[in-house]
Structure 1
């Protein structure tokens, strides 16, 4: 699958600077930047500040909050100087993304308090594209970034936004900068980095629509899999996630997670929810492992961690699971994770023919 990395950061910055350079001789302080309350000059400086801030967060491995620093331009700096600073800070973010291991996460508040290198790349690119649009609108320029790049952003940090026919127009609408037929105007927005739930030997990494698209099509979803690839159940779950995303009803925290082994970074299975909690607070969970990783307690460990995360949410009263009656190995996993056999109607969906239901209550 196409990665979101330093190359894309450099691409976005180069396109933005090339466009804005055509109007560097204009009065940016005297022009309002699109729908913002900022002028074009301040908005350009803000882009540079965002880029260096994201590079600093990722390079410094900040985990508890923002690194308390920023940049200050010289008093006599002109518009061309600002563009040079954007190029420089963009290069720093691109280099940081390229050299940061995939498992590293650093603090960002929206919405799960951390992001990986792809998340910081995507946030930086989004800032560049959107604020270039704002400045271009104020200066009367036309800004049209590559559709593929916009799709990359939407499928990574806007998983809650139903995709549209035009990715750029969809991104503008999702961030309160434009209109889409049949959709209400957006007045408040945020991006959404994937959720990661830690366990002892594993991390449970939330699957983005970008990764789900690749997994459902037979790819690796951007993960290095033990044993040659994911089990079919993980691919089927990715397909369900993708359908929810395309319908605009996907809630990322109640989606699919890949179980990644801390020791070597290899993915060993998939686990996730069948949807958001129902009106009674019940949420159903499912899981599978690659054959090469079975018998080592990974499913039990992951199930305990993800169930505990779910039960800590106010809207959840119980986590439920169903398994085939003859699948005693799966039933043993559920019991070891603290689940108990449930009456047919007390579990989400109940017991069907040939199935047994288990639940774990908060």
Structure 2
């Protein structure tokens, strides 16, 4: 799996400054940046400011709000100097991403109040690519960043966007900057960082489409697993995530979560939903654990946390689970988590249906 690390931030910054250094003699202040209301100059300064703020969030481990810092350029700084600042702040974010542990999350308001290092890297790359496009459009330049870099952004922070025939036009469409055949114009948009759900000994970490594809194809999804993990059920659930993403119906809060042990950062299993709740307010859950992690109460702990989060909202009224008749351990998990047996399930009745109502 291609990582979304510091090298991607540097790659994006280089694509920006490499192009814009060819036109530093033009009037950036008096030229509007594409469809934005900002000038090209203000947009370039905004790129640098975002990179700095994201680096500060990660480095400072901010949890409740943005770190109160801002970017001020020296009086008389020319266009070339602004590009120097973009390179410098890009390097700062790249360094913060490289030195931040995988499990650390810092504050970002939308939509789940935090992001990990890959999320901040992807947001930084998106800011650079999209606003370089805006500036280039204003100055009459052609700009097309590396296709893999655009795909990285879509896979990490646009999981709700159905992939298009090419990554760059899809990213432009998804952010209201272009058109795609057969799709309505986008007038409002947000990116989506992965959700997390805390439990006592575990953290339930939502997977991105990129991680899900890697897991489905036999990789580790970017997680360090205990022996025997990931188990087959997690790989199959990852395939469901990939299918939903490719169909444009994936909602990360109703997808797959990897159960990560707090004490050592190792993944012990997977748990999640078979899809978003239906109109009847019903959602089905599933899970599995690596053999080395079984018998320690992890599945019960995780299911309680997942169920509490789901039933606290307005979309879910009933959580369902289906357990093989002879899987005594799993019967114990759902029972301890508060589910009640409601009858037989499956074509041959060899499975047992459980429900938990809000």
Normalising TM by the smaller chain, what interval?
A: over 0.9
Structure 2, gaps ≥5 residues long: none
1:14 paired with 2:45, answer no
Q: Which residue of 1 aligns with 2:350?
A: 354
When residues 16 and 10 of structure 1 are mapped into structure 2, their CA distance, relative to the original with a 3 A threshold, is same
Q: Which residue of 2 aligns with 1:185?
A: 185
Q: Which residue of 2 aligns with 1:225?
A: 225
1:266-322 deviation per Cα after TM superposition (whole angstroms, max 9, x unaligned) = 100000101111222111000000000000000000000000000011111121100
Cα RMSD (Å) of the superposition? Answer: 1.1
Q: Which residue of 1 aligns with 2:205?
A: 205
- Displacement after TM superposition at 1:351 (Å): 8.0
Trace 1:310-329 onto structure 2 (pairs within 5 A).
310-329=310-329
- Displacement after TM superposition at 1:360 (Å): 1.1
Contact kept, 8 Å, 1:200 with 1:301, in 2: the verdict is yes
- Displacement after TM superposition at 1:361 (Å): 1.1
Contact kept, 8 Å, 1:41 with 1:79, in 2: the verdict is yes
Trace 1:1-362 onto structure 2 (pairs within 5 A).
1-343=1-343, 353-362=349-358
Normalised to the residue count of structure 2, the TM-score between the two structures is 0.98
Contact kept, 8 Å, 1:322 with 1:351, in 2: the verdict is no
1:126-149 deviation per Cα after TM superposition (whole angstroms, max 9, x unaligned) = 000000000000011111111111
Cα distance in 2, alignment partners of residues 2 and 266 from structure 1:
20
State the secondary structure of the residue aligned to 1:22: helix
State the secondary structure of the residue aligned to 1:342: strand
Deviates more, 1:203-212 or 1:352-361: 352-361
- Displacement after TM superposition at 1:8 (Å): 0.5
Cα distance in 1, alignment partners of residues 93 and 221 from structure 2:
24
Contact kept, 8 Å, 1:351 with 1:357, in 2: the verdict is no
Contact kept, 8 Å, 2:281 with 2:315, in 1: the verdict is yes
Cα distance in 1, alignment partners of residues 48 and 137 from structure 2:
19
When residues 352 and 252 of structure 1 are mapped into structure 2, their CA distance, relative to the original with a 3 A threshold, is farther
Contact kept, 8 Å, 2:163 with 2:170, in 1: the verdict is yes
State the secondary structure of the residue aligned to 2:333: helix
Contact kept, 8 Å, 2:229 with 2:291, in 1: the verdict is no
Normalised to the residue count of structure 1, the TM-score between the two structures is 0.97
- Displacement after TM superposition at 1:110 (Å): 1.1
Displacement over 3 Å in runs of 4+: 349-352
Cα distance in 2, alignment partners of residues 312 and 85 from structure 1:
45
- Displacement after TM superposition at 1:229 (Å): 2.6
Cα distance in 1, alignment partners of residues 85 and 202 from structure 2:
40
Cα distance in 2, alignment partners of residues 42 and 75 from structure 1:
14
Cα distance in 1, alignment partners of residues 230 and 346 from structure 2:
28
1:80-122 deviation per Cα after TM superposition (whole angstroms, max 9, x unaligned) = 1101111111110000000000010000011000000000000
Q: Name the count of aligned residue pairs.
A: 358
Contact kept, 8 Å, 2:229 with 2:289, in 1: the verdict is no
Cα distance in 2, alignment partners of residues 132 and 243 from structure 1:
32
Cα distance in 2, alignment partners of residues 154 and 187 from structure 1:
18
State the secondary structure of the residue aligned to 2:27: coil
Deviates more, 1:130-139 or 1:314-323: 314-323
1:197-228 deviation per Cα after TM superposition (whole angstroms, max 9, x unaligned) = 00000000001100011011011111111014
- Displacement after TM superposition at 1:2 (Å): 1.1
Structure 1, gaps ≥5 residues long: none
